[in-house]
Amino acid sequence: MSGNLKIRAFFVLGCLVLALASLGPTLLGSSAPDWWKKAFDPIHLGLDLQGGMHLVLGVDVEKAVESRLDTIADQTEDLLREKDVIFKRVGRQASDRLVVTVYDDEAGRQVDTLLQEMFPNLEPLTLVTEGAYILKNFRLSDLEITEIEEYAVRQALETLRNRVDQFGVSEPTLQRQADNRILIQLPGVKDPQRAIDLLGKTARLEFKMVVEDANPQEAIKGNLPPGAQLLYERNVNKQTGAVLETPVVVESKTVITGDLLSDAQVRISNQFNEPYVAIDFNAVGAKRFDQVTAANVNRRMAIVLDDTVYSAPVIRERISGGSAQISGSFSEQEATDLAIVLRAGSLPAPVKILENRTVGPSLGQDSINKGIFSVLIGGLLVIAAMLIYYRLSGLVANTVLILNLVFILAMLSIFKATLTLPGIAGIVLTVGMAVDANVLIFERIREELRIGRTAKAALDAGYSKAFLTIIDANVTTLIAALVLFQFGTGPVKGFAVTLSVGIIASLFTAIFVSRVIFDFFLGRGQVDRLSI
């Protein structure tokens, strides 16, 4: 055996050993050793094969528009104070209108000028008088509203994707549908309710100052001080696990928001041995947090998530460094989920679950059995045809066909791809296409043998002359598969993955592995003819 052939043979053998090693956890299942499972993941199955969750969420884009107007109202209030414009109040009316109440026409003109400069997308409406006051009405333009709604859906999709990625679901499907809907498929989810809670939480984190002199009981009756709101603090009884809600009056104005966070991690308290969430602000948030704590020493600051107060500690001193913590008698899972949603960011608008279906694994097992059966039937028919038509050379083609299937499954495992029902269809198609390259090579060899070439010369000519044709045919199919993967969704992607992997494996086995097998037998002695 020549040195070059030995190198090629050992390379093929190494690839085969790696492939079999990567398939070990899939074939052995739970009986595989832990070190083996850590080294190679079993083949991941899609939602249609192993079951899981199918959710359709609707993004409440109207709330996103309201949130944008609330932000503009806060900025307008600060701007008017900065410019010494006398006004009574600034607030949002309905879902798309901003109202600035002033005392005279001169202040109204100043408001028009300032808002036109700062917020050109605000359109002035008809002037309204209310007793001694003048109400300046503004409305967001239709173009601005459309852009806000579009951004809300795109941002919600990205935020949900981040949450799912940190939740640890393998190969989830998230895609946008019509009417501001988002489709989410989570294969293999064991705790559907936890997934729903994680995805449905808006996770709007706010820091608000507590109004110390307000009476919560009076606030419950509706007697709230100006610029204040009533929230409830979440407390968990350690003995019974019951959740208690305590009324807390806080300032309506938010001093810091969660979009200034850079990280959130679960920690364990040394004093009480309970989990809490440690948060870190970015540079802007750290500076703001430093300013707020310095200006409010000995006051309580409420940490509010989705309008629920999780804790309201007293600021004992100025806090520099941009770090804080959220405690609230969490379980470890609750603290972990809270850290996930804070890291992933808050949703720009609330989402509603419009459709919730749990796919059972029994349907998946039935699909797997039928898929395996179809692969076996297709493979056996191809093997029989190759043996009958090409005799011993057909046996070589069948050997590389089996290796081709092994390499396909191994690459699915190594690259952590997901096998779906359309993916099985892609494998069946690959089995049918896998022998095409060998057919081209064998027919070229036959032509060379007919004109009197030796077995070795015919083999060399057959592989060299068929090489470019094989590459052209497979590369064009690979390009089509990559386009399907890039622009397709769900089942189409599953088909494209196995088709792409199958083409790569077919090229390797048909051109490289089969040539190694032929060279091995031809190199063992003088061969006068090929069985082909």
Angle CA(43)–CA(49)–CA(55) in degrees, nearest 5?
110
How far apart are the C-alpha atoms of 388 and 395, rounded to whole Å?
A: 10
Q: Could you confirm whether domain 3-51+360-522 is CATH 3.30.70.1290?
A: no
Largest CA distance in the chain: 112
Sign of CA dihedral 276, 282, 283, 285: negative
Q: Can you give the pLDDT at residue 362?
A: 53
Written as one letter, the residue type at 226 is P
Fold topology of 201-358: Gyrase A; domain 2 (3.30.1360)
Quickly state the pLDDT bin for 2 (edges 50, 70, 90): low
Tokens of 240: 């019974």
Written as one letter, the residue type at 271 is Q
Using the structure block, give the residue that is written with the tokens 């991690």.
Answer: 265
Alpha-carbon 60 to chain mean position: 20
pLDDT of 23 above 80: yes
Q: Can you give the pLDDT at residue 257?
A: 81
Tens of pLDDT, residue by residue over 60-74, are 888 888 888 888 888
According to DSSP, residue 300 is labeled B
pLDDT of 348 above 90: no
Q: Can you give the pLDDT at residue 328?
A: 67
Residue 197 or 247, more confident:
247
How far apart are the C-alpha atoms of 126 and 99, rounded to whole Å?
A: 11
How far apart are the C-alpha atoms of 140 and 144, rounded to whole Å?
A: 6
Q: Can you give the pLDDT at residue 527?
A: 61
Q: Can you give the pLDDT at residue 364?
A: 57
Tens of pLDDT, residue by residue over 273-294, are 788 888 898 888 888 889 889 9
Q: Can you give the pLDDT at residue 367?
A: 66
Tally: H helices and E strands in the chain: 16, 20
According to DSSP, residue 260 is labeled G
How far apart are the C-alpha atoms of 150 and 146, rounded to whole Å?
A: 6
Quickly state the pLDDT bin for 455 (edges 50, 70, 90): confident
